[in-house]
Chain A
Amino acid sequence: MSDLDPYNQVVRQHFVNPAHAGDLPAEYTDTSSAEAGESDFGARVRLMLAQRDGRILAMRFRAWGCPHLIAAAETVCERFTGETVESLARFEPQRLMTMLDVPVEKSGRILLLEDALRLLYRAATGNKVDS
């Protein structure tokens, strides 16, 4: 990424081709979803997963926000598909920010995604313990 291009190649690629954008296929029955943010505040994201026996079969997202948010949601869905539901609790926002060269003034978008993942983890595990 040049100093003049606000988006690195990973962001551009995931923004242009968000393979995980949309809704879960209807065939899945054990599904959970969670949402964080508000459009009025510039960012909103919904995460959805389908699981079986504690393993994530599929993840999808819907997002309203900047390219970094959309790319981050895509990255997260790609990363956790096939992993255990428990792995959601080990999300590391800083690694994602580094991968996507998220500018510091947009770090709130990634923290919003972290909120959504935390809520999704709770929904998927029935964990009602406050963070």
Chain B
Amino acid sequence: MTRADSRAIVYLDNAATTRVDPLVAAAMSACLGDDRAFANAASIHLAGRAAAQRVERAREQLAALLNVRARDLIWTSGATESDNLAITGAARFRANRGRHLITMPTEHKAVTDTFKALEREEFEVSWLKPASDGVLSLADIDAAVRPDTQLVSIMHVNNETGVMQDIAAIGECCRRHDILFHTDAAQSVGKLAIDLSALPVDLLSLTAHKFHGPQGIGALYIADRPGCQVQPILFGGSQERRLRPGTLPVHLIVGAGEAAELAHDSSERDYRHLGMLRDRLWQGIAGLSGLQRNGSEEHAFPGILNVSVAGVEGESLMLAIEPVCVASGSACNSRSGESSYVLRALGRSDSEAQSAIRFSFGRDTSTADVDSGAQRYVSAVNHLRSIAPDAV
């Protein structure tokens, strides 16, 4: 076993996961030994009903964050499962009407891989490419729609670049064509105000660990309107309207509910805080030559900053900036070494994508964290450039 690395980490990878809020942790911990929380929420005895009440209380808390009815939310293990259930479940439900689906190649792998699996089931998928800034044109969606199109899936905030798509406009387009609209909102729920009573979104995926809740719990919103249903992809119980069987993890759900309530209370303050941090970090590194931002600045979520820099190799850059914790241009393939398919879809070269770094901020990120990150990044880039064969 290696000796522990005792350096204090500087955590700037909140798009990967966030620290559990102490209040959330306390609420979860209290569940584990509590007679009125530990039981199986599906049991009809006193202890089970008490646990079920905790589950429903948390569902109400999450519903308040999204301004929806609690019964329209299904608990899942996270956004990946919600994506799978929404996309596969909706496609199969509406397969008798048509088998054409639409998405983007820049979606999270939980979405792209699900669509690829559906292609193997002989669904036909149109992969709409974004512009070089990552934004999808509404005209492209309109042009791609066919009489047999049943589902469009476009993520709200891109997990690598922070590019925000106009889900209100996309939803309206889908409504005009009577097509279901799913959005992976894992990066936006709990950070951006999302009013699902006003947005034309049929299916929405979310996960608690992106807004200071625990890992392992998420939800799928399913709009209560005609034609909007999903078939289950898991079988073996009647929980969650028979759409997601399995014993509910009460402590995780309680944590998700608490996190949702905290996010609801602090959303405006958090939004300003994230924007301030992003701008501060950018100012700290903008003096580097050969630096470019990846993704639209106009349609940008404030909690993510993705940059590429010329003249340095990505893997070395990641090691050189330790103990700052960020994501590389390999992003969700952090251990694979492949350059980011999202950045390559935006037209970045392999070396630009591979040298990209994603900084991402959270409620508990401080200006000291950002200043340290910026300083470490500039120092690392300058050092690697100084030992490169092309150094001046």
Contact = CB atoms under 8 A, between A and B. Distances in A.
Interface string A1-34: 1100101000010010010011000000000000
Interface residues of A, number: 25
A62 B2 contact: no
B139 interface: no
Q: Report whether over half of chain A's contact residues are helix, strand or loop; otherwise say mixed.
A: mixed
Interface residues of B, number: 17
A42 B390 CA distance: 14
Given A7-B319, A15-B316, A67-B315, A46 B389 contact: yes
A67 B386 contact: no
A46 B389 CA distance: 6
Contact of B313 (A5, A12, A65): A65
Contacts of A1: 2
A61 B315 CA distance: 19
B368 interface: no
Contacts of B313: 39, 42, 64-66
Q: Is the interface of B mostly helix, strand, loop or mixed?
A: loop
B372 interface: no
A44 B384 CA distance: 13
A21 B387 contact: yes
A39 B351 contact: yes
Contacts of B337: 105
A62 B390 CA distance: 9
A45 to B, nearest CB: 7
A2 B1 contact: yes
Interface of B: 1-2, 311-313, 315-316, 319-320, 337, 351, 386-391
27 contacts: A1-B2, A2-B1, A2-B2, A12-B319, A15-B316, A15-B319, A21-B386, A21-B387, A39-B313, A39-B351, A39-B390, A40-B351, A42-B313, A44-B389, A61-B387, A62-B389, A63-B387, A63-B389, A64-B311, A64-B389, A64-B390, A65-B313, A65-B316, A66-B316, A67-B315, A67-B316, A67-B319
Interface of A: 1-2, 5, 7, 12, 15, 18, 21-22, 35, 39-40, 42, 44-46, 61-67, 70, 105
